Structure 1
């Protein structure tokens, strides 16, 4: 018996390692051989109709064995005992084993960062993992998202996804690896946020992000203002951010409450915070003061700044004769982010005209 068990174990392993096509072919060949063998032994009740035979074969292979169909003759029973039962059960067991193994491998592959999200679009990519700092960054992005967006983390040196329920994960050799950016779907990403372990890594990753995603908005954090200025000059459309703690300390010393104002304006967890949106193309120009009044009255939004299309300057103290046009970006304070699709710009222009 140990010899027979060893043989069946080897047969099972051989079938488990087959491709799905080969396993399907094995099922088909065994089913045909079973039909021929049962027909040759006179089991016409089992082989007379294709549906009846298929029903018998499947219930036998899955060991369900309802008992409503079975060989009636001694020869048919012997053929079932020697060939049909062992072969069909072994094939079905191999099928289950391969299915479980493939499903497990798929989930382990994604958990370990070896998946491919190259066909994803409109998502956010977070480049670099710095422990609790990046965890808070991801949580802030998720809290501030309009929909159930699932960001993708691209980082080296991790054994598995650090936040498997909330983000997807791409394991990279380094933060400037072009192949890793492709697997993260960088070409279709809307935003890429970069924060390396130091400014050199952040600089290399920012350049790689722009090369992989020419149309995405790239936001990078630097410790040194010099590196940030270099990115602002050399990488079009990239937003380089440095720590504002010193400036905020000075401002708070001169203007009491400034730190609280900054917390409110840039927090993703409080009401009355600052947001931005791009004005859709095609709307009629609106005077800044008129838009301020119309947006406050119709949408409870307080307009605080404007970035004209094609300019990198944000104006927080716009002139009274300034106009807002399609393609511009406005900054506003509100209790929650406004979905650009829900903003009635036609109503704003009509209200201004009235």
Structure 2
């Protein structure tokens, strides 16, 4: 008996280490052998049709054992005890083990940053992880994300596992400048990239790689020093550079009391009276700034505070009332919540000046 157990253990280990194709072939070979033994034993009630035998074989392999089918003769019962029962149960157990192991390996690899999201599109790609600061950025993006938007992808180095597995997917890299990693993170199809390295050198290298991997995406990069920020502004068109405004805000608050509260409210992601932006759609046609200002205020309770021309790098916060507003211009406004450009009745704007 111990020898038989040892043989079956060796068979189980051999099968468990085989590929899915070999396991399927083993299942088929064992089923055919069992079918042939039952035919030789005269068990016609089990072999009268392939469906009947498949039903009996699977209920045996899964140990369900409904009891409606079973060998009737001693020879058939012996074949069942020596071949069908141990073989089918062992094979099914191996199958379950491989399924669980494969699923566990799949999710473990994703948690460890080895997943592939190259087919994803329309998502936000966050590059770099600096603990609490990066977590705050991700939480802000999640609060302002469209309900049906794809999951955020994090591309970072120096962390062993996904820091926010409930909210984002993770791609681990050796360097933030590794171009191939951006492909795995789906950078080519990303809508927005947010880059913040451990220092300005890393951020610069990551920005260069990101611009090459995602030339059509909106790229936002954070720099600590103005020198590196100016370099990116002049050399990489389409990259929006963010630097610390702490010093300037300190001066402004000293000269204009309450300025710090204004900045905090305007750029908070979870409070009312926050600054947002929208791009004027092509169907809006050409409008006048005053028309848009009055229309958005009366119809949508938005306060228009400025605009940026199509492809421009500077924002005008004090536009003339007769300034022309056209398709693809970006409008900045203050509101309690984001208003999508597609929900605005642009053709009704022209009537607002007359009504006023």
TM-score in terms of structure 2 length? 0.96
Q: Distance in 2 between matches of 1:352 and 1:78?
A: 95
- The reply to whether residue 136 of structure 1 matches residue 150 of structure 2 is no
- SS, match of residue 125 in structure 2: strand
1:59 paired residue number: 59
| CA displacement at 1:352 relative to structure 2 | 5.6
The CA deviation at 1:14 is 2.1
Tell me the CA shift for residue 344 of structure 1.
Answer: 2.2
- Structure-2 change in CA distance of 1:117 and 1:353 (3 Å): farther
Match of 1:282, SS state, is helix
Q: Once the 2 structures are TM-superposed, how far is the Cα of residue 79 of structure 1 from its aligned partner?
A: 0.9
Q: Which residue of 2 aligns with 1:194?
A: 195
- Quick one: distance in 2 between partners of 1:34 and 1:279? 71
Q: Indicate the residue corresponding to 2:217 in structure 1.
A: 216
Structure-2 separation of matches of 1:7 and 1:209: 56
Cα deviation for residue 351 of structure 1 reads 4.9
- Aligned partners of 1:172 and 1:2: how far apart in 2? 50
Unaligned runs of 5+ in 1: none
1:110 equivalent in structure 2: 110
Displacement, 1:221?
0.7
Figure out how many residues of one structure are paired with residues of the other and give that number. 354
Using the alignment, how far apart are the partners of 2:326 and 2:17 within structure 1?
Answer: 62
Alignment map for 1:107-256 (pairs within 5 Å): 107-149=107-149, 150-256=151-257
1:300 aligns with 2:318: no
Contact 1:146–1:339 at 8 Å: present in 2 too? no
Residue 92 of structure 2 aligns to a residue whose secondary structure is helix
Contact 2:290 / 2:353 at 8 angstroms: preserved in 1? no
Matched residue, 2:8: 8
Matched-pair contact (CA < 8 Å) for 2:127–2:156: yes
Shift, 1:82, TM fit: 1.1
Q: 1:26 to 1:346 in 2, by over 3 A?
A: farther
Structure 1 residues 308-319: aligned runs within 5 Å: 308-319=309-320
C-alpha distance in 1 between matches for 2:94 and 2:350: 68
CA drift of 1:327 comes to 0.8
Deviates most, 138-147 or 101-110 = 138-147
Offset from partner CA, 1:34-62 (integer Å, 9 cap, x none): 11110111000000022211111011111
Q: Secondary structure at the match of 1:138?
A: helix
Q: CA contact under 8 A between 2:283 and 2:327: conserved in structure 1?
A: yes
Q: CA separation in 2, counterparts of 1:142 and 1:116? A: 21
Which residue number corresponds to residue 30 of structure 2? 30
User: Which residue in the other structure is 1:42 paired with?
Assistant: 42
Q: Following the alignment from structure 2 to structure 1, what is the Cα–Cα distance between the partners of residues 158 and 331?
A: 39
Tell me how far apart the structure 1 counterparts of residues 39 and 45 of structure 2 sit (CA, whole Å): 9
Shift of 1:3: 3.6
Moved over 4 A (4+): 349-354
- What do you get for the CA RMSD once the two structures are aligned? 1.4
Residue 170 of structure 1 aligns to a residue whose secondary structure is strand
